[in-house]
Amino acid sequence: MSLNKLSSQYNQRLTALLEQLFPDVGVDKQLHSLPNAVRYASLSGGKRLRPLLVYAAGEALGVNATVLDQPALAVELIHCYSLVHDDLPSMDDDDLRRGQATVHRAFDEATAILAGDLLQAQAFNLLANQTGVAASCINESMQIVSKAALDMVKGQSLDLAFENHSPNQAELEQMLQLKTGALIRASVLIPTAYVEQLPAAHCQALADFAESIGLAFQIRDDVLDITGDTEVLGKPQGSDAGLNKAAWPSQFGVEAANVRVGQLYERAIVALEHFGESADFLRFLAERMIKRSY
Amino acid sequence: MSLNKLSSQYNQRLTALLEQLFPDVGVDKQLHSLPNAVRYASLSGGKRLRPLLVYAAGEALGVNATVLDQPALAVELIHCYSLVHDDLPSMDDDDLRRGQATVHRAFDEATAILAGDLLQAQAFNLLANQTGVAASCINESMQIVSKAALDMVKGQSLDLAFENHSPNQAELEQMLQLKTGALIRASVLIPTAYVEQLPAAHCQALADFAESIGLAFQIRDDVLDITGDTEVLGKPQGSDAGLNKAAWPSQFGVEAANVRVGQLYERAIVALEHFGESADFLRFLAERMIKRSY
């Protein structure tokens, strides 16, 4: 099967799982805005990059996809919650996300805050209720995801603080590693929780891959925010720059940003050498993360 | 030891644990508002009722307090996060909490949202990293707490919806069971996760106790909101009524509310008969929850 097709199949699998988790309640919108908002936040498209990374790292380690369904959903829910909260008026104040009204615009602010809160709780509830795997594996997956959820919030807080402060490259990249990198790293590392006696070198190689590709991905995203257009991005071009946000390319130049992305991408690919062909799906996603124009 | 003294000792234990978890970073407030806000949200007093219920139920079941430290902290953090988010302008829009400025007033809205998000993530991170207990116990505690975290958000959403809708008694109590009851129930049930082969009747008795006392506590709280005064309550008297919120006493009368509280309290005490003297600390807390004037 082509990797493109494999990717679509996993994507459909995720849609089906999300539809099952958040079924269309089809009732009075006023009294039931929360379930509708949660559906809207998690089922309105998106690249589903993080859960795909979970499955792809699972392929590299030989972990069955069924075992990874709940953790894959969990990282997607954590990601969705972070988008809903980051878009709020007091944060990035965004009106558009994935080409649609953001949750607080489509519903209201209170519903958006609660939808985010519920998505985070739901993620941990899914992890806690995994079946068919050892309790110790469940714990390890919860440790990985909860650590990322903590780091992500710290990263967002630094990002807001940088609006009034010009960080140097190391500070900026540390923020990006927390804000975006932490959950990407967690996604790639989750399958290690289900492998008994995994050699430490394999775990380290996946961590190296994830850290490099996660940072490259965010810098590429910030370049697109400057050079892309609204229709393709699904959000207004320059929407981050408009807030005086400290972004890699605006601080150090688009050209230098592209060089840095190339460097990090190469490092990520080298880290996968350990895994031979079993990492082809990871390589495919890494390329998509960097070469995308949206 | 008197139960009053036992309660103070557990309270000091919790303060010490929270101080360790969120140490005073004492740095530039602007760049580090998040750690300061998290400390402020969790270490500015409060009754610490939920973690005390964890320890008290532990005494009833003979579970060592050391085993319960992390779960006790976790429920307190979930409670604190819910207060921070509920106080936000788009929700209950409260300026005062525990006699002090609410987090979004003392800091700003973005910081309050992030502090709440971090507190929720931290709660699950603590649970996932428990040591010295079986992995299956950890999972069970995570199941209990994550279920409550979900229900709590659903309850808050219903509470907001009821601002434009007059619920009947059953609807109102169901909302209260979600919004306030769920986390109180989880607090009381957590120690059951650490007991092997607990008789189902014991578990049921604790659940009955928790459901009755949790509902009584919230109705009592709503009565105090009508009859208490700001100085004693730590928040403006009538602050909930002012929002057209559907509260038990405002819907069905203060006198009927007091009767209902007495009925539920009695039911809670009857449920504890199973446990003899070992439940004295639970009885003490139940009395404090109902007879308090603050």
pLDDT tens digits, residue range A124-183?
999 999 999 999 999 999 999 999 999 999 999 998 888 877 899 999 999 999 999 999
Distance CA B14, CA A217 (A): 41
The pLDDT, as a whole number, for residue A98 is: 84
User: Mean pLDDT, 10 residues at a time, over chain B (294 residues)?
Assistant: 94 97 75 87 92 98 97 98 97 91 95 98 98 97 98 93 86 96 98 95 97 97 81 55 74 94 97 96 97 68
Please give the ipTM for the structure prediction. Answer: 0.94
The pLDDT, as a whole number, for residue B232 is: 54
- Please identify among residues 12-31 of chain B the ones whose CB lies closer than 8 Å to any CB of chain A: 30-31
A109 vs B90: CB contact, 8 Å cut-off? yes
Q: Compare CB distances from A91 to B33, B113, B146 and report the shortest one's residue.
A: B113
The two structure tokens encoding residue A79: 């990601």
Q: Which SS3 state, helix, strand or coil, does residue A28 take?
A: coil
Beta bridge partners of A207: none
The pLDDT, as a whole number, for residue B82 is: 97
Q: Compare CB distances from B91 to A110, A124, A160 and report the shortest one's residue.
A: A110
CATH number for the domain harbouring residue A210: 1.10.600.10
For A46-75, what is the mean pLDDT? 97
Domain span at residue B67 reads 3-291
What is the per-residue DSSP string for B24-45? -----TTTTHHHHHHHHHHSS-
- CA-based nearest distance B92→chain A, Å: 9
The pLDDT, as a whole number, for residue B46 is: 84
For A169, A177, A185, A204, A264, the CA distances from A260, given in Å and listed in that order, are 11, 14, 19, 22, 6
The pLDDT, as a whole number, for residue A233 is: 54
Query: H or E element: which one contains B217?
Result: helix B200-227
Distance CA A102, CA A90 (A): 14
The pLDDT, as a whole number, for residue A161 is: 86
Number of folded domains that form chain B: 1
pLDDT tens digits, residue range A265-276?
999 999 999 899
- CB contacts, 8 Å: B125 with chain A: 143, 146-147, 149-150
Distance CA B151, CA B183 (A): 8
- CA-based nearest distance A117→chain B, Å: 7
Share of chain A above pLDDT 70, in %: 91
Q: Which residues contact B102 (CB under 8 A, 6 or more apart)?
A: B84, B87, B94, B95, B96, B112
Report yes or no: A125 at the B interface, CB cutoff 8 Å. Answer: yes
pLDDT tens digits, residue range A218-260?
999 999 988 875 555 555 555 555 556 778 998 899 999 999 9
The pLDDT, as a whole number, for residue B230 is: 54
